[in-house]
Amino acid sequence: MNKVEFSPSLMTMDLDKFKEQITFLNDQVDSYHIDIMDGHYVPNISLSPWFIQEVRKISTLPLSAHLMVTEPAFWVQQLIDINCEWICMHAEVLDGLAFRLIDQIHDAGLKAGIVLNPETPVSVILPYIDRLDKVTIMTVDPGFAGQRFIEGALDKIVELRELREEYDYHYVIEMDGSSNRKSFKRIDEANPDIYIVGRSGLFGLDDDIAKAWSIMVADYQEMTGKVLSS
């Protein structure tokens, strides 16, 4: 798990250039991150299973759905029906549902992930951590793009790496929120497996997606001193 992976948050892409941007990124990134918001768990309403199907028409990369919803069971089945590779649910709404929904995802041959808000400790997921394929640490409050980076949340990435090493868990560790030039060095020190990049880290850097990607790579390499492998 030494290779750093980047997963663009498609909520922040330029939808006027949907096909152009996805076609370019298909050769650069490892997966796509798709936020689904219901207007209840967070006040915004964002992407949907329909959007995932549209991405699937022009990409074969793994798609990861981030469910910011109050009723995860309703959405999990929809995502299973369209064969979304990763289904990631917020721990904060899973009391009494976690084991059932994780098993439901695995029984469909898909991967189950859990997302933790900045104030939610890793201890909340310990009862079922051994079943997880991914743990996502939010470094902003959920529901809005462009928020201020919450550096203290990165301590949970370190904690998750230590737990994975000690108990041989198989989950990957992902960070989500304000991943950009200003935060790359500190994120790198925490050492997640997957960086979610959105408006401030990628799509907002230039109107031309190829130029934006080059700027992002240069920013990462300058701030971390590491060269990205292809």
pLDDT digits (tens, 9 = 90+) for 3-44: 889 999 999 999 899 999 999 999 999 999 999 987 665 656
Please determine, for residue 162, whether its predicted confidence score (pLDDT) is greater than 90.
yes
Arithmetic mean of pLDDT, 151-179: 96
Distance, in Å, from the CA atom of 123 to the CA atom of 210, rounded to the nearest integer, reads 41
- Show the tokens assigned to 57: 């028409």
* 134-155 per-position pLDDT tens digit: 999 999 987 665 568 999 999 9
Q: Where are the domains of the chain?
A: 5-224
**The predicted structure's pLDDT at residue 143:** 63
Q: Is 130 annotated for ligand binding? A: no
* pLDDT at residue 199, as a whole number: 93
pLDDT of residue 82: 96
Say what the pLDDT of residue 48 is. 84
Q: Is residue 66 a known part of a binding site?
A: yes
Tell me what pLDDT residue 78 has. Answer: 95
Catalytic residue among 14, 27, 30, 35: 35
**Nearest-angstrom CA–CA distance, 38 and 40:** 5
Residue 225 among known ligand-binding residues:
no
- Tell me, yes or no, if 193 is annotated catalytic: no
Mean pLDDT of the chain: 93
Residue 229 has pLDDT above 90, yes or no: no
The answer to whether the predicted template modeling score (pTM) of the entire model surpasses 0.85 is: yes
User: What confidence score (pLDDT) does residue 178 get?
Assistant: 87
- For the domain spanning 5-224, the CATH number is 3.20.20.70
Residue 176 a catalytic site member: yes
